[in-house]
Structures are given as structure tokens and as C-alpha cells.
Amino acid sequence: MFIYPQMYRKLKRGPQVILPKDIGIIITFSGIDKNSICVDAGTGSGWLAVSLARVAKAVYSYDMRDDFIAIAEKNRQILGLDNLVLKKGDVLDRIDEKDVDMIALDMPSSDKALPNAKKALAPGGRVVGYLPHMEQVKAFVKKLNSLKFEDIYTVEVNVRDMLVREEGIRPSTKGIWHTAYLVFAKKQEGRIRP
């Protein structure tokens, strides 16, 4: 049976969450650090938002549902995070923040939020799509290309538990397999023309 890291065992869960296996890759591949400003769209239970807030300078997390925001607020309080702002809103309409270092999109039709994400990102800023289905990946990447994003790549993260016993070591029949595909891209940095 997969055991979550200690921090996540304290957190509340309502809607489906982004799991630690994907959170670690999102943080690492997006390159955020203590000086980063992040936007998370599709707060859900807030697991990604609180994880980002433990690393970044500030995190703004958007959701349309009051009940999801309430769960995320409990998780924010459990971890005592003052740098996480939970906002009711739709990033398809607008993203208030500007010069953002990273935007994570975990919502239906994430590709439709990319124009607003591009406006909000600083040059060289990263966008991450958390997409359960390949058809979503295709639409997301197509939109990234049309908006001239760079360094586009997609990964899937699987975790296998290992049985370590006296008679031998082998993979268990349990694990966390497919949760979503992660698509990463970078907003073009300003170009100097001769």
C-alpha cells in the first residue's frame, strides 16, 4: 500500500487531488524557488497550492467553487501558510497577477486558459498543464504551439511500490500508476533584434 509523505497525511481531501508524485515533478521541472510567484488554477483540495506555497514566495490559487476553496483554506491553515491566497474566479475570464513565474492549470479545457496564462507570465515563465487524457494533451500542445510557447514537453509519472523481503526484492502489485500527463512549456523570453 502506498504511503503518503507525512505532510499530506494531515491534509483534508474533497475533490480529486494532485498527488505528491506529480507535485514533485511540477516543482522541479518548472524551476520555482523562494523568489517565485505562482498561479494555480483549479484549486480543488489545494494540495498543489499548499505544496507550491511551501517553496515559492507567493501563490494565488483560483477555483470556481466555494466548497473547494473552503477545503483548500483548511489545508492552508493546517500548514500555516501566509503566502497562499485563495481566490474565487475563472482564469478563462482573467488572471489578475502579472509577471508570474509559473502557472499550473488543472481544470477542464485548460487549453482555453492559455491565452490568459501567457499574458500573466513573465518572459521565460513556465506553464504546466495537468491533463488526465491524451486528447487534452493534444489540444493543450496545439494551443501552446499556436501561442509560440517554447520548450514544450510532456511526461507521465508512475510510482511502483517495492516488496523487500528476506527471500527477495521485487515490484509489488500495487502502486500509483496513471493520474495525469504533465505538459510543460516556457513563454518566450524577449528577443533582442539587431
Residue 193 domain-assigned?
no
What is the Rg, in whole angstroms, of the alpha carbon atoms belonging to the chain? 17
- Rounded distance, CA 90 to CA 122, Å? 20
CA distance 14 to 21: 19
CATH code, domain carrying 63: 3.40.50.150
Question: For the chain, what is the domain count?
Answer: 1
Q: 76 has which bridge partners?
A: none
Query: Would you write out the chain's pLDDT as a tens digit for each of its 194 residues?
Result: 456 667 777 777 787 888 888 999 999 999 999 999 999 999 999 999 999 999 999 999 999 999 999 999 999 999 999 999 999 999 999 999 999 999 999 998 999 999 999 999 999 999 999 999 999 999 999 999 999 999 999 999 988 788 899 999 988 777 667 789 999 999 998 654 44
pLDDT score of 10 = 78
Q: pTM above 0.95?
A: no
Any domain includes 192: no
Q: Which domain holds residue 114?
A: 6-186
Q: Does 129 reside within a domain? A: yes
pLDDT at 1: 47
| Nine cell digits for residue 110 | 485548460
